[in-house]
């Protein structure tokens, strides 16, 4: 049962990543602004990517227990 729930969570994370890196939502970050001196678009890409990896690690550790 726990394995199946983990698989569903990984699939949901994949869908969230697909949406997060797709055009309509990614266009929200394409503005002329900076975050700590870094243009907002690359900073947003990095933060979304890092968040996906962190959540993936958390879910994978929960499945392994």
Whether residue 50 lies inside any domain: the answer is yes
Task: Tell whether 46 is covered by a domain.
Answer: yes
Query: Considering the chain, what is the average pLDDT of its residues?
Result: 90
| φ/ψ of residue 34, rounded to 5 | -125, 155
pTM of the predicted structure, to 2 decimals: 0.82
- Report the number of distinct structural domains present in the chain: 1
The reply to whether 11 falls in a domain is no
For residue 18, what pLDDT is reported?
Answer: 93
Q: HSE-up of 31 (CA within 13 Å, CB side)?
A: 7
> Does residue 36 fall inside a structural domain?
yes
Domain encompassing residue 63:
24-65
pLDDT at 44 over 60: yes
């Amino acid at each position: 049962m726990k394995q199946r729930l983990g698989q569903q969570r990984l699939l949901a994370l994949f869908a969230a990543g697909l949406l997060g890196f797709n055009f309509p939502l990614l266009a929200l970050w394409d503005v002329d602004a900076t975050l700590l001196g870094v243009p907002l678009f690359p900073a947003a890409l990095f933060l979304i990517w890092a968040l996906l990896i962190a959540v993936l690690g958390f879910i994978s550790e929960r499945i392994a227990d």
